[in-house]
A and B are shown apart, each in its own frame.
Chain A
Amino acid sequence: MSTNSRWRALTHHHLFWPVAVLVFLLLVNVPFTPDFFSVKMTGGHLYGSLVSIVLFGSPLILVAVGMTVVIATGGIDLSVGAVVAITGALACSYISHQADQNALSGVLLAMGLGLLAAVVCGLWNGFLVARMGIQPIIATLIIMVAGRGVAQLITNGQIITINSDPYKLIGGGYWLTLPFSIFVVAVVVAVTVALTRRTALGLLIEAVGGNAEASRLVGIRSRRIKIMVYVFCALCAAVAGLMISSNTSAADGNNAGLWIELDAILAVVIGGTSLLGGRFSIGGTVVGALVIQTLTTTIYTIGVPTQTNLVFKAAVVIVVCLLQSPKFRAKVFGAKFGARFGAKGGAKPAVAETDTAASTDAAPKMEVS
């Protein structure tokens, strides 16, 4: 009885499905690479598949966390990819003009410049959305289109390569045996969670997302909150941009952060945040971003040709969205869901049944398409 109720509490937890997908994906790797979970210590650094998943996934996690907060207010930010490109381009072009590329002050100034540009972009997005009342998709489309042009303008259409050790640390360096970017991500996520869940800020954001007009009448400065989330999202994208450019020691105005906005939105959706706004889950988003990165890694390790990566991703988006759609669940699992809520004693087998139904439903689809 108690295990039954505990199991139900577990499956009804909002993180259950994202984590289940993540664990499933991780386990898929084991038959192909038996030492998938082993983490080795080489030359003072930790190496292993798990470490690299987090390392390569960290820009995506950052962008997705920013995106979550924006989506929670009922908006969306398409400009993050362009902001990633602009930040990387600004920072790298500033460093490349320095006489001593290793000077700490120059690197810090370059990063400050990049972050400042991001704040400007965020303020602009927020201004259009909150003050002018333009649909978020469209308002952020402007910077998405123009921003990449600006990034290419900064780099002069070329790929700027730099050679700076302090700058290399953010995206490719190690600290305390772990990649430094993991710490950056951990700090950003921790601060975000603390700000949104330990203060009233999270509640205010959800209130604005639930009904902006009602929240304004209640006395929440909904416009200010909206502007704030867009600035925050742009800042997260900027840090990700610094990370990406530092990892490759180069700024590519054309390709840096290309399609990262789509991946980030995908991560948010997988994490269980509704695109309609009004509620959000930072934890879910982090798991969602890890799912996407694990999916990419899995495709590499099990030897599927890498070009099918996008097809897999599309299949995952479709399956996850279908599973989240109440109408789809009612149509496909209608009878089973009814049984699950009707017969309380037999809850566990019913849940297990839907579980397998969902996974078998997902598996062939991923192979067919």
Chain B
Amino acid sequence: MSATTQSPTAVGSRTPSKAQRLLGDRRLPVAATALLFLVMYGVGLGRYQYYGFDEPQVFLNLFIDNSYLLVAAVGVTFVILSGGIDLSVGSVIGFTTMLTAWLVEREGLPLLVVIPIVLAVGAFGGFLMGYVIHNFEIQPFIVTLAGLFLFRGLCLVISKESISISDSAVSSMAEAQVSLGMGFLSVGAVVSLVVLAVAFYVLHYTRFGRRVYAIGGNEQSALLMGLPQGGTKIAVYTVSGFCSALAGLLFTLYIQSGDPLHATGMELDAIAAVVIGGTLLTGGSGYVVGTLFGVLVLGLIKSIIQFEGTLSSWWTKIATGVLLCAFILVQRVMTARKKT
């Protein structure tokens, strides 16, 4: 708690040893994740350098292939920072792909009209969940679980079969590339990085961001301080719904189809990325930049498994679980140390 506030003045009164101060630093988990990413990347370079792992495009592909996960994880970061949880992310993504595909293909609406509609639907869904969570004091876990069922069900109501998108606007947008000299990024990757930057600004430089941290840190204190707790909570879930819908759009661009089973279980990937990125699940502590590294680590696991060739896809799940476990235990040790 005190690590950030007391550093200039407290040196004289009670000098904690350097190691202690380092362990108490909130940025440590993010640094650890970044280090892990670098080590993994280095190992990948050593192992597969003759297979083209050292090409810059392989690195950029991490952003391209995980753009939707990054956007979804940013939304989840807001929710987890505020001390809640959102299980509906994967379903909202699936629903968005379905709705977009249906509106574009079956109803013939232009993509530019569809995008705002879809984003509004996602944000409204998040708003509804936040409203119920705040006003009726039902646990976020259960409310967003209902959201998970609802949106997955609505996918199936639209169509049981997958709808492939052949609209020229969608495919030209999906194939558009932003050249960076040494490689290129897709539109989705650029959008996801913009979302990350906006989230960074909002969380660290605006009043709303401080409220999110305050409520996550201690809801009771935030209430006693007179912070508009209800509005913030609802806003946090609205942000998450909006981000999920945006992630759904990016996913649609990436896959160019809508399927009722798209992104099943992606809420777990998003939560895992946030946790690996060093955000405390109890809320109030963490950085959205950590989420970026969490997503990159998960993405890197996938590409290493691709490069390995002999490993099967389920190793991704096992590796994710092991990493999740390691980071949760590290978090636990750190918070225990801070209390004493």
A binds B: yes
User: Are B143 and A308 in touch, CB under 8 angstroms?
Assistant: no
Bound-state Cα–Cα, A143 to B141, Å: 18
Which residue of A137, A152, A156 contacts B85 across the interface (Cβ within 8 Å)?
Answer: A137
- Complex alpha-carbon distance, A327 and B230, angstroms: 15
Q: Which residues of A contact B329 (CB under 8 A)?
A: 132, 134
CB-defined contacts of A253 to chain B, threshold 8 Å: 314
Interface residues of A in 115-146 (CB under 8 A from B): 128, 132-135, 137-139, 141-146
Binds A, one of B22-30, B171-179, B200-208, B315-323: B315-323
Closest chain A residue to B335, Cβ basis: A133
Cβ contact within 8 Å between A141 and B271: yes
Name the prevailing secondary structure of the A interface residues: helix
Q: Are B156 and A142 in contact (CB under 8 A)?
A: no
The answer for the CA separation of A165 and B141 in the assembled complex, in Å, is: 41
User: Is the pair A318, B146 in contact by a Cβ cutoff of 8 Å?
Assistant: yes
B282 CB, min distance to chain A CBs, angstroms: 7
- On whether A146 and B322 interact (CB within 8 A), knowing A157-B312, A321-B142, A322-B136, the answer reads yes
* Alpha-carbon separation in the docked complex, A138 to B328 (Å): 8
**Is B236 in the interface zone, CB < 8 Å from A?**
no
Say whether, besides A138-B281, A145-B321, A146-B318, A314 and B275 are in contact (CB < 8 Å): no
Q: Does A369 contact B (CB under 8 A)?
A: yes
Q: Which of B312, B314, B315 has the most chain A CB atoms closer than 10 A to its own CB?
A: B314
Say yes or no: B324 contacts A311, CB within 8 Å.
no
CB-CB nearest in chain A for B281: A138
Mark interface residues in A134-168 (1 if CB within 8 Å of B CB, else 0).
Answer: 11011101111111111011001100000000000
Q: Which of A293-324 contact B (CB under 8 A)?
A: 305, 307-315, 317-318, 321-322, 324
The reply on B9 being an interface residue by CB < 8 A is no
A341 beta carbon closer than 8 Å to chain B: no
> Would B272 and A311 count as touching, CB distance under 8 A?
no
Assess whether A135 is in contact with B281, with CB atoms less than 8 Å apart: yes
In this assembly, does B138 line the interface, its C-beta being within 8 Å of a C-beta of chain A?
yes
Given known A-B contacts A317-B142, A321-B143, A328-B136, A139 and B314 have beta carbons under 8 A apart = no
- How far apart are B261's CB and chain A's nearest CB, in angstroms? 11
Which residue of B315, B328, B336 contacts A139 across the interface (Cβ within 8 Å)?
B328
Is the CB of B332 closer than 8 A to any CB of chain A?
yes
Give the interface size class of chain A: 35 or more
Residues of A within 8 A of B312 (CB): 152-153, 156-157
List chain A residues, Cβ under 8 A from B145. Answer: 262, 265-266, 317
Question: What's the Cα separation between A324 and B314 when bound, in Å?
Answer: 40
> Is A325 in contact with chain B by the CB < 8 A criterion?
yes
B49 to chain A, nearest CB (A): 28
The DSSP consensus for interface residues of chain B is helix
- Tell me, yes or no, whether B217 is within 8 Å of chain A by CB: no
Number of interface residues of B (CB under 8 A): 45
Q: How far is the CA of A265 from the CA of B85 in the complex (A)?
A: 16
Instruction: Report the minimal beta-carbon distance from A88 to chain B, rounded to whole angstroms.
Output: 15
- When the two chains form the complex, which single residue of B260, B281, B318 contacts A153, counting CB atoms closer than 8 Å? B318
| Alpha-carbon distance between A315 and B271 when the two chains are bound, in angstroms | 25
A145-B268, A148-B317 known; A311-B136 Cβ under 8 A: no
Q: In the complex, what residues of B have CB within 8 A of residue A133's CB?
A: 332, 336
In the assembly, what is the distance between CA of A326 and CA of B136, in Å? 8
Please, which residues of chain B bring their CB within 8 A of the CB of A286?
none
Verify if A231 is at the interface (C-beta below 8 Å from B).
Answer: no
Query: What residues of B have a CB within 8 angstroms of the CB of A150 in the complex?
Result: 314, 318
A275 close to chain B: CB less than 8 A: yes
Q: Are A275 and B148 in contact (CB under 8 A)?
A: no
Question: B287-340: which have CB < 8 Å to A?
Answer: 312-318, 320-322, 324-325, 328-329, 332, 336
- With A145-B268, A307-B156 known as contacts, the answer to whether A314 contacts B281 (CB < 8 A) is no
Residue in B closest to A138 when the chains form the complex, CB atoms: B281
A146 touches B146 (CB 8 A): no
B152 touches A310 (CB 8 A): yes
In the assembly, what is the distance between CA of A152 and CA of B318, in Å? 10
| Contact (A145, B317) CB under 8 Å given A308-B156, A311-B157, A325-B136 | yes
Residue of B nearest to A156 (CB): B312
Across the two chains, which residue of chain B brings its CB closest to A139?
B328
**B314 in contact with A149 (CB, 8 Å):** yes
**A→B interface (CB under 8 Å):** 76, 128, 132-135, 137-139, 141-150, 152-153, 156-157, 253, 262, 265-266, 269, 275, 305, 307-315, 317-318, 321-322, 324-328, 331, 369
5 A-B interface contacts by CB (under 8 A) = A132-B329, A135-B281, A145-B320, A149-B315, A331-B136
Nearest 6 interchain pairs by C-beta: A146-B321, A149-B317, A310-B153, A307-B156, A311-B153, A314-B150
